[in-house]
Chains A and B, each alone.
Chain A
Amino acid sequence: MDWLDANLLSILNGLALAALLFLIAVGLSLVFGTMDVLNLAHGAVSLTGAYIGVALLDPDAGAGQFVVAILAAAAVGLAFGGALALLTGGVRDHLRQALLTLGIAMIAGDILRQLFGADVQSVPTPNGLAGSVDVLGKSYPVYRLVVIGLSIVIGVVLYVVLERTQVGALVRATVADRGMVETLGVRSNVVLAGVFAVGAALASVGGLLAGPVLGAQPGLDNTILLLALVVVVVGGLGSIRGAVLGAVLVGEVQTLGVALFPAYASFLLFGAMALVLLLKPGGLLPARYGAATGGHA
């Protein structure tokens, strides 16, 4: 019990980081897994969300204002994602996708820098969530607990929609056999663009929620993209469960792992990734359907 007592905060904190990583990475995973588009502008979408927090929230913003900011971030993310889907629609080759989306990411990053300056900005924690609570005798920031809760809710909703509803069935069917879906009178492009837009909206909201922890500054988009890519590679492409597992693993390695082996802090993350790739090259829980499995190639 001593061990648990000493490391409880780290474990909890790993979950909070995992919650943020999940929200950001799940879109990247779904888009790559289902649409077969490698979207390197994903970090930029996420940073846009953080800057929306900078723009809309004043230092003593309440929970109401925060909800408005979340909705705004979701709306902007949807639009950004839709535009990206449109632009990458005709590009099948991964290298070209990478070049195209990387270019978009650079342009978006520069626009954000023009608008908000190069200085690091902070996103305030909403009033009422700024304090700490006692968790088994240790004080822990309330906001991070809320982030964990919110992320679980979003994850469950996403899973249920994709696996248990007609909309989800349509997405899965489009991925499995585009031609068949189109003969039924459904425009497959619209379905896939929808996936792209929702994924981007989640990344944008994730970026906003990460704001009070990570702040907002030029260059953060690349850090986020890198972490999200690690989550996707570790978890496996195109599956929500994979993104959850990848995020939790990366989150815990970054906190609990660092707490236990501080001397190896900079090596742990990529060490863990290399280990997963050695043992399971496809990631821990890859999708059972979709482009990632090579099902329709």
Chain B
Amino acid sequence: MPGPSRRRLRRTSLIALVAALALTAAACGGSLDEEGGGEEGSGSVKVGLALPASGVYEPLGVDMTRGFELYLEEQQGKLGGKEVEVVKADEGEAPDTGVPAVQKLVTQDKVDALVGIVNSATALGVKDTVSQSKVPLIVANAGADEVADGGDYVWRTSFTNGGVGEALGGAVAEELGNESVYLMAADYAAGRESVAGFKKSFEAAGGKIAGESFTPFGTTTDWQPFLSKAQNSGAKAVYVFYAGGEAVNFVKQYKSFGLGEEIQLYGAGFLTEGGVLAAQGKAAEGVRTSLHYSDQLDTPENKEFVDAYTKAYDAPPTVYAVQAYDAAAALDLALKDADGTSGEAIAKALGGIGEIESPRGTWSFDEDHNPDQPYFLREVQAVDGGFANAVLNELS
């Protein structure tokens, strides 16, 4: 058979190019059909919701959209007494889709405030944009330590990677006494920050570390080599940071190689949160994690929230839903005080909202604009035929 002629080859390259361009255009979201924004009088406010509607973070995006919309519904579609218009954009998986989505909301839709951002790299990528265009961004998930640093326009209702680990270190050190812990995490910023946070408070409390492994992020399918190292290190506990699919496979393998019985597994709460826990099932039983929320929290505020959420969406709420719910709450409080609906006014008002009553408990923004909030020690237990993160105690 003769090979393809030069002309045909060039034609195929052209087709490939067109296809590639089509993909990029699709990824940017059909932005042409949006109405050009503009000021619509002081009675309404335009909020941009940048959350993943595709890619690996889609489940988080779904939960967060629900949390935000639930709060809005409870306030009859108003925040701070002002009619709210929500414009959504797909954050996607990474900055290559997330940053353009935010830019579109800011420049084209001219939103007054932004809520969302799951991916830390995206959050870091849009930090300058929102500050320059004076649109306050309420980060409702991304946990990289340096996302919020006290700049006027970036606020965070979620957590810092280091903070979640740091909350747990002291308690584990106390539990272990003279025994040691083995550290393990996915080898990317979130994993390293989480382990560093844990180490900080763990060592300060006199804990001993037997060793650590950082596993290739996104390509590790088999944790046995690392589990063997942990086992041979003589550690009596393991602290890990994994999320999503990696969390499921890790916890199942931890169980199937029989580590669960001898070595207590601790982790940042994302290890057993939401859909991840459903997929782990029985393998996760007994795993202990720290997080700023559990749907099992026994407070009137949380029970009311869980009931309303479950009724609306037929699924229990996750920490992600609460983070977005609280982002709406923060915006609500700020708009009540704000002098108008401009981004500048909202950002200024966010600094003075004080304490926020939330399903997770009462919290407020600290000087870096990160949440100063309670953390809980949770243990996976069988509840009503399924598994849930029972709250053992609050971590100090």
Measured CB to CB, the residues of A under 8 A from B are 6, 9-10, 13, 17, 59, 92-93, 95-96, 99, 117-122, 124-125, 130, 132, 139-141, 143, 212-215, 217-220, 223, 227, 254-256, 258-259, 262, 265-266, 269, 297
Nearest first, the 5 closest Cβ-Cβ pairs linking A and B are A259-B225, A119-B275, A266-B216, A118-B58, A122-B279
Closest to A257 in B: B225
CB-CB nearest in chain B for A16: B222
**Given A99-B19, A141-B257, A213-B249, are A255 and B222 also a contact pair (CB < 8 Å)?**
yes
Across the interface, which residues of B come within 8 angstroms of A227, CB to CB? 221
Nearest residue, chain B, Cβ from A13: B224
Inter-chain contacts of B253 with A (CB < 8 A): 213
A93 touching B4 in the complex, CB below 8 Å, given contacts A9-B224, A122-B280, A259-B228? yes
CB < 8 Å neighbour of B16 from A95, A215, A217, A266: A95
Which residues of chain B (257-283) have a CB below 8 Å from chain A? Answer: 257-258, 274-276, 278-282
Contact present for A99 and B15 (CB under 8 Å): yes
A99: chain B residues within 8 A (beta carbon): 15-16, 19
Instruction: Decide if A17 touches B221 in the complex (CB within 8 Å).
Output: yes
Known contacts A120-B275, A122-B248, A141 near B256 by CB under 8 Å: yes
Which residues in A have their C-beta under 8 angstroms from that of B225? 10, 13, 255-256, 258-259, 262
Q: What would 17 A/B residue contacts be, using CB atoms closer than 8 Å?
A: A6-B228, A99-B19, A118-B58, A119-B59, A119-B278, A119-B279, A120-B244, A132-B256, A213-B222, A214-B221, A215-B248, A217-B56, A227-B221, A254-B222, A255-B222, A255-B224, A265-B216
Task: Report the minimal beta-carbon distance from B83 to chain A, rounded to whole angstroms.
Answer: 32
Question: Given A219-B55, A259-B225, 9 more contacts at CB 8 Å?
Answer: A93-B12, A118-B62, A120-B275, A122-B281, A215-B279, A218-B58, A223-B219, A259-B224, A265-B187
List residues of chain A with CB within 8 A of the CB of B274. 119
CA distance A67 to B394 in the complex (A): 47
A18 to B164, CA, bound (A): 37
What secondary structure prevails in chain B residues at the interface with A? helix
Q: Are A214 and B249 in contact (CB under 8 A)?
A: yes
Nearest CB in chain B to that of A270: its residue: B219
Known: A95-B16, A265-B220. A118 touches B245 (CB 8 A): no
Contact partners of B221 in chain A: CB under 8 A = 17, 213-214, 223, 227, 254
Contact A95 B213 (CB under 8 A): no
Chain B interface residue number, banded: 35 or more
Contacts known (A213-B249, A217-B245, A254-B222); A10 close to B56, Cβ less than 8 A? no
B residues in contact with A59, CB < 8 Å: 281-282
Which residues on B sit within 8 Å (CB–CB) of A266?
187, 216, 219
Residue of A nearest to B217 (CB): A266
Do A297 and B1 contact each other (CB < 8 Å), given the known contacts A6-B232, A9-B224? yes
**B280: min CB distance to chain A, Å:** 7
- CB-contact partner of A219 in B15, B56, B248, B278, under 8 A: B56
Q: Please determine whether B222 and A92 come into contact, CB atoms closer than 8 angstroms.
A: no
B276 contacts across to A, CB distance below 8 A:
119-120
Expressed in whole angstroms, the minimum distance between the Cβ of A164 and any Cβ of chain B is 30
B6 at the interface (CB under 8 A from A): no
How far apart sit A223 and B222, CA to CA, in the bound complex (Å)? Answer: 13
- A118, A121, A217, A262: which contacts B226 (Cβ < 8 A)? A262
Contact A122 B252 (CB under 8 A): yes
In this complex, what residue of B is CB-closest to A125? B256
CB nearest to A122 among chain B residues: B279
Q: Tell me if A120 and B228 are in contact (CB < 8 A).
A: no
- A122-B281, A139-B258, A213-B249 known; A10+B224 contact, CB < 8 A: yes
Say how far B144's CB is from chain A's closest CB, in angstroms.
20
Cβ of B215 under 8 Å from chain A: yes
- Say yes or no: is B311 at the interface (Cβ < 8 Å to chain A): no
Chain B residues, Cβ within 8 Å of A121: 279
Bound together, the chains give a CA A113 to CA B219 distance in angstroms of 21
A residues less than 8 Å from B192 (CB atoms): none
Cβ contacts under 8 Å, B215 to chain A: 265
- B4 in contact with A220 (CB, 8 Å): no
B82 lies within 8 A of chain A by Cβ? no
Q: Is the CB of B222 within 8 A of A120?
A: no
Chain B minimum-CB-distance residue to A215: B248
Q: How far is the CA of A117 from the CA of B280 in the complex (A)?
A: 16
Chain A residues near B9 (CB, 8 Å)?
95
Q: How far is the CB of B226 from chain A (nearest CB, A)?
A: 7
Distance to closest chain A CB from B206 (angstroms) = 27
Any A CB within 8 A of the CB of B8: yes
B348 within 8 A of A: no
In whole Å, how far is A199's beta carbon from the nearest beta carbon of chain B? 22
Q: A106 to chain B: closest CB distance in Å? A: 9
Closest to A260 in B: B225
Chain B nearest CB from A50 CB (Å) reads 12
- For A6, the closest partner residue in chain B by CB is B232
Q: Please indicate the chain A residues that have their CB under 8 angstroms from the CB of B275 in the complex.
A: 119-120
Which residue of chain A has the shortest Cβ distance to B276 in the bound complex?
Answer: A120
A105 to B62, CA, bound (A): 24
CB nearest neighbor in B for A124: B281
Residues of chain A within 8 A of B252, CB atoms compared: 122, 212-213, 215
Q: Is B229 an interface residue (CB 8 A)?
A: yes
Q: Closest residue of chain B to A102, judged by CB?
A: B19
A212 to chain B, nearest CB (A): 8
* A216 → chain B closest CB, angstroms: 9
> How many whole Å from B96's CB to the nearest CB in chain A?
16
B222 touches A17 (CB 8 A): yes
Contact between B216 and A218, CB atoms less than 8 A apart:
no
Q: Report yes or no: A9 in contact with B12, Cβ–Cβ below 8 A.
A: no
Report the nearest B residue to A10, measured CB to CB: B225
Residue in A117, A215, A254 whose beta carbon sits within 8 Å of that of B249 in the complex: A215
Q: How far is the CB of A120 from chain B (nearest CB, A)?
A: 4
- Residues of B contacting A125 with CB < 8 Å? 256
**How far apart are the CA atoms of A233 and B72 in the complex, in Å?**
54
Smallest CB gap from A227: residue in B: B221
Cα distance A259–B215 when bound, in Å?
11
Interface hub of B216, B232, B256 (most chain A Cβ within 10 A): B256
Interfacial chain A residues near B55, Cβ < 8 Å: 219
CA distance A257 to B56 in the complex (A): 28
Q: Within the assembled complex, what's the spacing in Å between the Cα atoms of A141 and B224?
A: 11
